[in-house]
Amino acid sequence: VPAPPAQMMDDKILDGEDIGYVPFDRPKKSKSDSGTDVDDRLPGLPRYVRINTLKKSVNAAHKEAAAAGYQLCQEPNPPGNRCYFRDDLVPDLMVFKPKGKSDISRLPLVAAGEMVIQQKASCFPALALHPPPGSVVIDGCAAPGNKTCHLAALMQNSGHIFAFERDERRCDLLRRMMELKGASIVTPCHASFMDADPTDSTWSTVTHILLDPSCSSSGMSKNPESDPEALKELATRQEEMILHAMRFPALQELTYSTCSVHEVENEEVVLAVMRAQQQQQTVPGAKPGAKGGKKQKAPNHPNQHRFTLEKALPAWPRRGHEL
């Protein structure tokens, strides 16, 4: 019986501010969800808007965009500042002209939570995981909630998503964002994902986990963390979080993503995790491939399966280094 796949990826392309329109005071930004708005740093970067299918159908969204004076074009990079086109990889993602040329943040659809300003890279983790409707899912580092909402849309608001956020104010932001966007299957959890006991019956049916943990923000911040020791500390916490996720007994798939461009937080983290789980699940003293080298439950490791690395989003041409 093949082991369940673990989908891990690093979205190295620039991931813009993941909050979008927030019709209330924002909490202080942290490295886990934002940095300087990428649109301010790179004026030529397109603006991406995801249609929130929890509240608005794709056809209705295009009609309302047309009523607001925007024209849907079939080819990329159309002329005119009020033209947009569909993204070729992420379903329901609309590509507008750069900030300053298209004022999409003022669209009523955005204010109503029916469209979500969300960079393309930010859409990749949920799209790669793509839990089917009815699944039980954990978003381990959820606030402000754009990825969480995307998960709910992919699941057609059927199933359950436990969204962890340890900061009280950010958890409140997450809760209000889910209400605004109609993500009724999301339960915000004011707690650290690392404190969730995988052996607790609450999590016994969790099959999918999305992890987008705190990182150096080197792909989106003007002043990212670059100190080698600090990066190593971040990477250690990232590894611990993935290994913790692998302990959930019913887990089938997980995604790991960052907004970092440092290998130490991406490929090296994944490599360390794959090596660690191999060491945990091999009988001590048995040579690899020997008759006595059966895989077994490691101590404190209720998930007995061996996870494998999946090539997520095969249509996306830019890949990390081979492990």
Binding residues for S-adenosyl-L-methionine: 141-147, 165, 212
Describe the chain by its helix, strand, coil percentages, rounded to 5.
Answer: 30, 15, 55
Catalytic residue status for 259: yes
Q: Which of 123, 149, 189, 259 is catalytic?
A: 259
**Residue of 284, 256, 32 lying closest to 124 (CA atoms):** 256
Distance CA 243, CA 237 (A): 10
Binding residues: 141-147, 165, 212
Instruction: Give the whole-angstrom CA distance, residue 239 versus residue 116.
Output: 30
The answer to whether 98 touches 123, Cβ cutoff 8 Å, is: no
Are β-strands 208-211 and 186-189 bridged in parallel, bridged antiparallel, or unpaired? unpaired
Q: Angle at Cα 181 formed by Cα 54 and Cα 173, nearest 5°?
A: 150
Q: Where are the alpha helices (DSSP H) in the chain?
A: 38-41, 58-67, 108-111, 120-129, 146-154, 168-181, 228-245, 267-280
Q: Annotated active-site positions, please?
A: 259
